[in-house]
Structure 1
Amino acid sequence: MKLQAVKLYEYNASFKHAIVTPKIKLSCRKVLIIELITNTGQHYFGECNAFETDWYSPETIEVVRHQTEKWIKQYQNETFNHFGEAQATLDNLMAFPATRSMLVMAFYQMFYEMHSFNVPYGATVSGLTEGNLKQLVDTQPQRVKIKWSQHILQNIEMLKQLDFQPNIAIDANESIQENESHKLKQLANKSILYIEEPFKSLDKLEAFTKYELPPIAIDEKALSQDEIMKIIANNPINVVVLKPFRLGGVDKVLEIINVLKAKDIKIVIGGMYEYGLSRYFTALLAQFADYPSDITPEGYYFKNDIVNNAGILKGDSIYFEPPEVNTAQLKRVY
């Protein structure tokens, strides 16, 4: 089919509760959306997970927009007969994985049938405020991932007191200080699923025996298949968090999943404070994960979304249907 037109949009909504991590505080989530329009009148959308600033990655929304506009000028009016032809146009974007991921998301819908499915519910919280605790009790996720803070041990005990007893994971965002090493050792006996990125440098893990550590996961360091394989070959890594926007998209993540399963490394699919379009694809990949992934139901982070019924909570799992984007809410920028 022929790519007849391409449009870019922005969308920005406030979080219900501010997101507070060791690296940043977020009150709203701005995203870039692409729309591919074919000569047969079909519309396919992709959502970009980059941020406005470079706090998480140097590939910001502005960088994605610039790279996407270059791609549009080169490939608009091209004809694509299968997914491989679309992939070939993205070869030059491997240095811009968030850009490639957004485009792959749209092309994937063009060539593959989208289905409905259920996945386990995995919530992420930034501290245990009264509002966060109420949300957890009301929705009862299978897994709760909590951000590292000076109160992490107390937070773990509070989570263990919840009536519904979720699995617990921790996201340290490479922020554990040397004077907090004793806390990490205490977590080894707390039945934690895993802790993501305890240190900026993996070399610091050498100061611990394997019995002094909870299962260790990499997240920010999982930048490519080659980098992941190098890390797990040389470090005590039990879990890898795969984020499509950091690895180049759905197709690249599926390839890495197959490689890691052969190595008996556990897999989690990571979200990035997404709206309903991207969340569908994160959930799609989470069907292949070993642990509940970063999948939240509709309305968890945002009051408003670009997709209706984007993840309906049913018990401790979430039901997803193929997403339909409401363009009336979007601001066109290209």
Structure 2
Amino acid sequence: MLVFEQLCLHRFTMPLKFPFQNSTTTVTEKKVLIVELIDPAGTRGYGECVAFDAPWYTEETIETAQHIIANHIWPMIKTQTISHPNELNLSPIRRNHMAKTAIEGAVWDLYAKKQRQPLYQVIGGRTNQVPVGAAIGIQPDYSTLSHKIQQALNKGFQRIKLKVKPGYDIKILEQVRRDYPDLSLMVDANSAYTLQEIDHLKQFDYFNLLMIEQPLAADDFLEHAVLQQQIKTPICLDESIHTLEDVKVALTLKSCQVISIKLAKVGGFRQAITIHDYCQEQGIPVWCGGMLEAGIGRAQSLALATLPNFYYPADPGPSNRYWQKDIIQPEIEMEHGIIKLPDHPGIGYQVELPPSQSECLDSN
């Protein structure tokens, strides 16, 4: 049985090795919120809230997530006794998926440790090896971009994702395809375009892309369906997907051909696995997007990506691509474009948190 005796929230800031820019913002550091759940035997489970410090990606922030966890989720779960993480009931709280994921991730880690199994196995993963790709943000010039692409390829990354926006798209892709004609390539627009630019968007078909991720507004399934009818490049929906119902709407309208599943955006493993299974039944490939996670969130996203319908290389890559020093040991490493997850219980890594602002709440 799972009993929760204490909840600790740890908050700190991690500077990125390099700024990361997409069509809406530039990130130079990441505020991190770690959830630590402790049972009466002293077993500790860890989860990570990957929300940003401003609501540019979703409505959640680190501040709102910490408030929801401490003042709403913890009072709800501290008296619960469950035998499996799927029994955790957070449905009385609407949305707040990133806060829920942080708690649920800690519960799954705790459960896997008590089962003495690695997390990827207890969620149904069939392998501990995850192929990964590299996401490259908007660069000041093509020379810098080409250098970063070549660096990623030299390190063995199996796929390249480029951030794009109006004014930084067609010309860049022409140059990339000139120099890398056989590159496994996709682009991510982060809702930078509108349907009024449909003639411009049709030009993406010239570049043999794996997909274009979230070209239009996050809440617009209908216009994505119109666009998908007009272009050959598969559309992948990311920001649009928060629930299984969102997936059903998207597939019914034929708004996309690929679904990005981000663990934190859909509310945790139970919902992510449900979406994965439904897409597999429908013949729709999925892939695992990244959220500039620290080691705990990164390890849990990679565990999710071991499920069989994750068709494309995952975004969460090795620790040293993003951080000078990660919060887990050993750090996540990649070899020949593959991350091999450890077979130790739980997330499989030792957690070593930096000095942080911490808040611990008892079940009494």
Is the shorter-chain TM-score for this pair beyond 0.5, marking a shared fold?
Answer: yes
Cα gap change, 1:147 to 1:43, in 2 (>3 Å): same
Correspondence for 1:170:
187
Contact 1:94 1:100 in 2 (8 A): no
2:157 corresponding residue in structure 1: 141
- Code of the residue aligned with 2:318 in structure 1: it is P
Offset at 1:309? 2.9
Once the two structures are superposed, residues 105-139 of structure 1 have per-residue CA deviations (whole angstroms, 9 ceiling, x without a partner) of: 11112223216722111111113535634542442
Deviates more, 1:199-208 or 1:60-69: 199-208
Map of 1:75 onto structure 2: 77
Residues 94 and 249 of structure 1: CA distance in aligned 2, closer, same or farther (over 3 Å): farther
Structure 1, unmatched stretches of 5+, are: none
The percentage of counterpart residues that share the same residue type is 23
Structure 1: distance between partners of 2:84 and 2:197: 52
Alignment of 1:272-291 (within 5 A): 272-288=291-307, 289-291=310-312
Cα displacement (A) at 1:64: 1.0
Shift of 1:254: 0.4
Number of equivalent positions = 332
Displacement after TM superposition at 1:69 (Å) = 0.8
- Paired position in structure 2 for 1:252: 271
Where 1:15 maps in the other structure, the secondary structure is: strand
CA displacement at 1:193 relative to structure 2: 0.5
Which stretch shows the higher mean deviation, 277-286 or 106-115?
106-115
Return 67-76 or 23-32, whichever deviates more.
67-76
Aligned to 1:331: 357
Can you give the 5+ residue segments of structure 2 that lack an aligned partner in the other structure?
121-127, 343-347
SS in 1 for 2:157: coil
- Go from structure 1 to structure 2 and tell me whether the alpha carbon gap of 1:9 and 1:164 turns closer, same or farther (over 3 Å shift): farther
Contact 1:196 1:218 in 2 (8 A): yes
Q: 320, 327, 348: which is aligned to 1:299?
A: 320
- 1:1-334 mapped onto 2 (5 Å cutoff): 1-70=2-71, 71-76=73-78, 78-85=80-87, 87-88=88-89, 90-112=90-112, 113-114=117-118, 117-128=128-139, 129=144, 132-133=148-149, 135-149=151-165, 150-160=167-177, 165-177=182-194, 180-200=197-217, 201-205=220-224, 210=229, 212-288=231-307, 289-321=310-342, 322-334=348-360
Deviates more, 1:166-175 or 1:197-206: 197-206
Report the CA distance shift for 1:206/1:111 in structure 2 as closer, same or farther (over 3 A).
closer
- Alpha-carbon separation, structure 2, partners of 1:206 and 1:78: 43
Deviations 1:2-24 (A, max 9, x none): 32211000121111111111111
Q: Is the 8 A contact 1:37 1:44 kept in 2?
A: yes
Does the C-alpha gap of structure 1 residues 267 and 203 become closer, same or farther in structure 2, counting only changes over 3 Å?
Answer: same
SS at match of 2:74: helix
CA drift at 1:327: 2.8
Conservation of the 8 A alpha-carbon contact between 1:184 and 1:213 = no
Which whole-Å CA distance do the structure 2 matches of 1:232 and 1:114 have between them? 33
SS at match of 2:334: strand
Could you tell me whether the CA contact under 8 Å between 1:5 and 1:77 is conserved in 2?
Answer: no
SS of structure 2 residue aligned to 1:188: helix
Report the Cα offset of residue 276 of structure 1.
1.0
Letter in 2 for 1:101: T
Q: CA deviation at 1:246?
A: 1.4
In structure 1, distance between residues paired with 2:153 and 2:168: 20
Shift of 1:66: 1.1
Determine if contact 1:10/1:30 at 8 Å carries over to the other structure. yes
1:82–1:180 Cα change, 3 Å:
closer
| One-letter amino acid matched to 1:327 | L
Pairwise CA RMSD: 2.4
1:8-41 Cα offsets, whole Å, 9 max, x none, are: 0012111111111111111100111110111111
Q: Cα gap change, 1:158/1:285 in structure 2, threshold over 3 Å: closer, same or farther?
A: farther
Inter-CA distance 69–207: structure 2 relative to 1 (3 Å threshold): closer
